[in-house]
A = this chain, B = another copy of it.
Amino acid sequence: MKIDPKSTADLSAQIAGAIRDAIMQGDLIVDERLPSEAELADQFAVSRPTVREALKRLAAQSLIRTQRGATGGAFVNRLSYPDAYAQQITTSTLLLSMNAISFETACEARYAMERACVPLAAQRRSRDHLATMRAEIHRQSQSGLTDEAFCASDVAFHRALVDGAGNPVLSYQLVGAVEAMQPLMNMITFTARSRDAIVALHVAIADAIDERDGVAASERLSALEAETLKLAHSVFVLRSAGQ
């Protein structure tokens, strides 16, 4: 592992990049211990604080974990699903909130991806996933729910739908799309009537999945997309009129 002295980038960024490359290329394998900070400082001919900054960069991406003590050090971390989920959600949420992405674009992407899960979910759905979906539907039906709670339950319903496909990679990819929409959804005021419409579609989707009817579920998901878009539009129209 070498760093380029001609580069203008921070030394800590260069070192982090070198180690990251080594991990991604397989030169460093999972649970392998990196040299101690002092040794790394020697190898790269930098000070220990600089090495530490590099290691913190990698830790932020869950590429390494550190342990104190005699047999401690920095170890190549196995990127777990929860870690990957968290990163996915952070990145997706920020991408959406910082780039003036229209509700339509985000919504379209999300529902397109969800429809990709539906055929698999219809085929493989388990008792667990169906139970979760029904439970969330029940929660959503209760009156007196805040908009935030309604949205949170909506997210949980859709996550159960996605997880129903039984493909963890697909779940990982989708979690960002679903969760990142929540801040946008939270801007919407859900009237009792619009909640009823959404819940009815949720029921219809759950029923279709239950009956292993992927085509029907897909169509109803599209109807839900249309309903969501309609709702968002009416809110935005109201809001811009209010201004």
Once A60-B57, A61-B61, A172-B95 are accepted as A-B contacts, the answer to whether A112 and B105 lie under 8 Å apart by CB is: no
A84 touches B91 (CB 8 A): yes
Set of chain B residues within 8 Å of A227, measured between Cβ atoms: none
B112 touches A170 (CB 8 A): yes
- Comparing A113-121, A129-137, A143-151, the segment that makes contact with chain B is A113-121
Once A81-B95, A115-B116 are accepted as A-B contacts, the answer to whether A109 and B173 lie under 8 Å apart by CB is: yes
Q: Residue on B with the closest CB to A177?
A: B173
- Interface size of A as a range: 35 or more
For the complex formed by this chain, how many copies does it contain in all?
2
What's the Cα separation between A94 and B119 when bound, in Å?
Answer: 27
What's the Cα separation between A26 and B16 when bound, in Å?
Answer: 29
Task: Check if A215 is an interface residue, CB within 8 A of chain B.
Answer: no
B79 touches A169 (CB 8 A): no
A113 touches B173 (CB 8 A): yes
Set of chain B residues within 8 Å of A112, measured between Cβ atoms: 116-117, 119-120, 165, 167, 170
Set of chain B residues within 8 Å of A30, measured between Cβ atoms: 98
Interface residues of A in 225-243 (CB under 8 A from B): none
Q: Residue on B with the closest CB to A53?
A: B56
Set of chain B residues within 8 Å of A94, measured between Cβ atoms: 23-24, 63, 79, 84
- What residues of chain A have their CB less than 8 Å away from a CB belonging to chain B? 12-13, 16, 20, 23-24, 26, 30, 49, 52-54, 56-61, 63, 78-81, 84, 87-88, 90-99, 101, 105-106, 108-110, 112-113, 115-117, 119-120, 165, 167-170, 172-173, 176-177
9 cross-chain pairs, A with B, having the tightest CB-CB distances, nearest first: A57-B60, A116-B116, A109-B169, A109-B170, A60-B60, A112-B116, A79-B94, A53-B56, A84-B95
